[in-house]
């Protein structure tokens, strides 16, 4: 791992749904500017772990720190603390979650006005910059339903970036897209990584993880079973469970 100061720290995090233990005693540090990809079989706890970083999932135990915010997770967090945490973490889901009755510009500007209290002019200026970044300047006045899935996901990324997060969280951002449209989204994510954005990416895109991530984490049964540089983990997995996972992926291709 990088020697930079950790910006995300999870310590002994547990998430349970009744008798089902989804995440088991996971500890993880992510450095500022690091790109971490999380892979593993279905039901491994990948998305649940990701969603604890912005408390969309509520752990039963452990501690969480993002930037200067530190929380004990064995009790309900106050609303103000949750809002501060979620402002510092941008989230991109499998589904795009755009407001269909609002233009692209409004989808990106409105959260800035509500959350960061920017004026409409300030928000629209930031929106224009972000639309240029995701190569969709000409879609500002379009409605989401007029866009392809790949374009909608790029708009969702721009909307998350508009709140100036310290960390970007991606939960299988290309799984709902066909391969060609998925490449558009991965291209934007690749540029973000090159620009030094801290990113945690749950993905099934092993080639993307190998190319872009600084660290690859493999999860199974709610636990981190292996981690390291993507090339090392993919080419020479140490645990039998990790070997089985990558073998299944290679057999599918």
**Domain residue extents for the chain:** 89-164
Distance CA 151, CA 23 (A): 33
Would residue 148 be called left, alpha or beta, if left means φ above 0 and alpha means ψ between -120 and 50 degrees?
A: beta
Handedness of CA 198, 204, 210, 212 (dihedral sign): negative
Q: In what order do the strands lie in the sheet with 89-92?
A: 89-92, 167-171, 198-202, 35-39, 215-220, 223-228
- d(C-alpha 74, C-alpha 16), whole Å: 12
Alpha-carbon gap, residue 62 to 112, rounded angstroms: 31
pLDDT confidence of residue 127? 98
Alpha-carbon gap, residue 22 to 60, rounded angstroms: 11
Q: 23 has which bridge partners?
A: 15
Q: What is the pTM of this model?
A: 0.93
* CA atoms lying within 13 Å on the CB side of residue 169: 23
Integer-rounded Cα radius of gyration of the chain:
18
Cα four-point dihedral sign 185, 189, 194, 195: positive
The pLDDT profile of the chain, 253 residues, written as one tens digit per residue, is 445 679 999 999 999 988 899 999 999 999 999 999 999 999 999 999 999 999 999 898 999 999 988 888 888 888 888 888 888 999 999 888 899 999 999 999 999 999 999 999 999 999 999 999 999 999 999 999 999 999 999 999 999 999 999 999 999 999 889 888 899 999 999 999 999 999 999 999 998 999 999 999 999 999 999 999 999 999 999 999 999 998 888 766 5
Task: State the Cα–Cα distance between residues 201 and 53, nearest whole angstrom.
Answer: 12
pLDDT of residue 3: 55
In order of 8, 50, 53, 142, the CA distances from 29 in angstroms are 6, 13, 11, 40
pLDDT score recorded for residue 4: 67
């Amino acid at each position: 791992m990088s020697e930079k100061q950790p910006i995300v720290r999870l310590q002994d995090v547990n998430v349970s749904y009744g008798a089902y233990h989804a995440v088991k005693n996971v500890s993880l540090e992510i450095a500022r500017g690091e790109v971490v990809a999380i892979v593993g079989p279905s039901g491994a706890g990948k998305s649940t772990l990701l969603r604890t970083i912005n408390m969309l999932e509520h752990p039963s135990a452990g501690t969480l720190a993002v930037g200067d915010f530190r929380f004990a997770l064995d009790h309900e967090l106050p609303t103000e603390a949750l809002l501060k945490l979620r402002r510092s973490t941008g989230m991109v889901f499998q589904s795009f979650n755009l407001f269909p009755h609002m233009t692209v510009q409004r989808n990106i500007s409105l959260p800035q006005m509500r959350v960061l209290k920017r004026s409409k002019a300030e928000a629209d200026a930031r929106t224009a910059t972000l639309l240029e970044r995701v190569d969709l300047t000409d879609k500002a006045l379009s409605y989401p339903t007029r866009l392809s899935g790949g374009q909608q996901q790029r708009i969702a990324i721009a909307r998350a970036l508009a709140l100036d997060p310290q960390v970007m969280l991606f939960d299988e951002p290309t799984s709902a897209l066909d391969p060609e449209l998925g490449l558009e989204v991965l291209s934007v994510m690749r540029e973000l990584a090159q620009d030094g954005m801290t990113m945690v990416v749950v993905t099934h895109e092993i080639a993307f993880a190998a190319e872009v991530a600084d660290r690859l984490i493999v999860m199974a049964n709610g636990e981190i079973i292996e981690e390291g540089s993507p090339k090392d983990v993919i080419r020479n997995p140490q645990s039998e469970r990790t070997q089985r996972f990558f073998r299944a992926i290679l057999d599918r291709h």
